Amino acid sequence: MLDVLAAAGEHAEPTALGLNAGGWVAVAMLVVFGIMLFAGVPRVVANILDDRIAAIRKQLDEARALRAEAEKLRDEYARKAREADEEVAALRASAERQAEEIVEKAKADASALIERHKVSAADKIATAERAAIDELRAKVASAAADAARALIADKHGEAADRKLADQIIGSL
């Protein structure tokens, strides 16, 4: 196919007013650009771009403000967390002190209770000893009286009783 074109030779391109197809395309482009310039398209495009830039700047400013607010909140929550940790530590220390005080008081109360029970037990033992001694004395006295009665009954007869009764009456 190339041979046919090469054999035919060169052919002439059509022109109009001395311009070929590429020239007319260039002229058309220049006319379009001229109309666009005359219509103010660059100004419209610039305004659109300026509006877009302003919107982006506004979004960036909002993002900066949000970031600053987020950092402020983060710092506030970190401070609150530290304060909460400190409060928890203080509460723990207070609870431990109170627990130690309660344990010490319980020990003291237990010691006092044991001492009271010892005193009470000693009093009960002393009371029981006195009661036992009193009971033993009563039994001894009763036994002595019974023995004395038996001895007197064995050793004293009726005559001795009369003589003793006469002595008592005479001394009155």
* Assigned domain for 5 exists: no
Tens-digit pLDDT profile for residues 35-85: 888 888 888 889 999 999 999 999 999 999 999 999 999 999 999 999 999
Least-confidence region, from 53-67, 69-83, 94-108, 125-139: 125-139
Structure tokens at 122: 């000693």
Residue 11: pLDDT band with limits 50, 70, 90: low
pLDDT of amino acid 43: 87
* Assigned domain for 57 exists: yes
Report the C-alpha gap between 138 and 57 in whole angstroms.
117
- Is pLDDT above 60 for 97? yes
Question: 3-7, 120-124, 145-149 — which one is most confidently predicted on average?
Answer: 120-124
* Assigned domain for 4 exists: no
How far, CA to CA in Å, does 156 sit from each of 62, 67, 74, 168? 135, 128, 118, 16
* Assigned domain for 131 exists: yes
* Assigned domain for 90 exists: yes
Report the C-alpha gap between 102 and 96 in whole angstroms.
10
pLDDT of amino acid 9: 58
Report the C-alpha gap between 55 and 60 in whole angstroms.
9
* Assigned domain for 127 exists: yes
Structural domain including 132 reads 13-171
* Assigned domain for 7 exists: no
Torsion angle (degrees, nearest 10) of CA 140, 142, 148, 149: -160
* Tally of domains in the chain: 1
pTM of the model: 0.39
- What is the rounded average pLDDT of the residues 107-122? 90
* Assigned domain for 47 exists: yes
